[in-house]
Amino acid sequence: MNGTPRVLNRVLLALLGLLFLGSGALLIALATVPAVGRWWQDRAKPATAEFAGLAARTILPGRSNSWIWIVVSLALVLLIIAMVAWVANQGKGRTDILADEYGDEDDDGAAGRVVISGAVAEQALKSALSERTDLLAATVATYALRGQPALRVRVLPRQGVSPHKLAAEVSALVQALDVVTGLRTPVLLSIGSGARTRFTKAERVG
């Protein structure tokens, strides 16, 4: 329901996974196989010497150090910004507007704009659901699905509650809300379980 970049998550996790896996495998090989150690030193030592030479050649006039370190620092700052942006993109997509429409005089006699806050639907559904004794918790949130507002209802029923009966009753509540707002907002109901449902007593009626 939310706008978590799932493909990006998987691509970046795969890249990082391969990076860690590769370096880990190299370390294990270095520790166990002498031939790999020789191969690594043959490759890495000239490269390091070249890098040290480059650092020595690029020393800024009037200072004792190369500008390479400034470039490296900037690259690391960019990497850190990218990582923060990646984390910030998880779970986004909430909105607080359920409807935003312009009406004209042909509509109902008056021109104007109507904005309905998402809190209207959230509060209405939540208060209706909180009266039920077969639910331990209910949360309602408004999300923007491809720009269109949609509601996500998450309920945690007690053990033994029939999910389809619960779904039908929430569906009836949503239809009542449709009548009130005059909209057919898409709704996703997620019936879940958690630690709280496992350790509270089951409904024994029926």
Yes or no: say if 137 and 173 are a contact pair by the CB < 8 Å rule.
Answer: no
Q: How far is the CB of 113 from other proteins (least distance, A)?
A: 24
Task: Please identify, using beta-carbon distances, which residue of 65 and 123 lies nearer to other proteins.
Answer: 65
Where does the chain have alpha helices with state H? Answer: 6-32, 34-57, 68-88, 105-108, 118-130, 163-181, 195-198
Q: Which stretch binds other proteins (CB under 8 A): 5-13, 98-106, 108-116, 126-134?
A: 5-13
In the window 120-139, what residues touch other proteins (CB under 8 A)?
none
Number of residues that make up the chain? 206
Residue at token pair 């923060």: 84
Task: Please identify, using beta-carbon distances, which residue of 123 and 193 lies nearer to other proteins.
Answer: 193
Q: How far is the CB of 96 from other proteins (least distance, A)?
A: 18
Under the criterion CB under 8 A, does residue 112 sit at the interface with other proteins? no
Exposure pattern of 52-69 as b/e (b: 16+ CB <10 Å)?
A: eeeeeeeeeeeeeebeee
Under the criterion CB under 8 A, does residue 14 sit at the interface with other proteins? yes
Task: Please identify, using beta-carbon distances, which residue of 116 and 153 lies nearer to other proteins.
Answer: 153
x-or-dash string of contact with other proteins, 50-89, rule CB under 8 A: -xx--x-------xxx-x-xx-xx--xx-xx--xx-xx--
Q: How far is CA 172 from CA 177, 186, 204, in A?
A: 9, 14, 24
In the window 135-164, what residues touch other proteins (CB under 8 A)?
145-146, 148, 150, 152-153, 157, 159-164
Under the criterion CB under 8 A, does residue 183 sit at the interface with other proteins? no
Q: Which stretch binds other proteins (CB under 8 A): 14-22, 96-104, 116-124, 134-142?
A: 14-22
Residues 6+ apart with CB under 8 A from 102: 112, 113, 114
Q: Which of 101, 190, 196, 200 binds other proteins (CB under 8 A)?
A: 190
Task: Please identify, using beta-carbon distances, which residue of 65 and 127 lies nearer to other proteins.
Answer: 65
Q: How far is CA 88 from CA 5, 63, 91, in A?
A: 11, 39, 8
d(CA 120, CA 122): 6
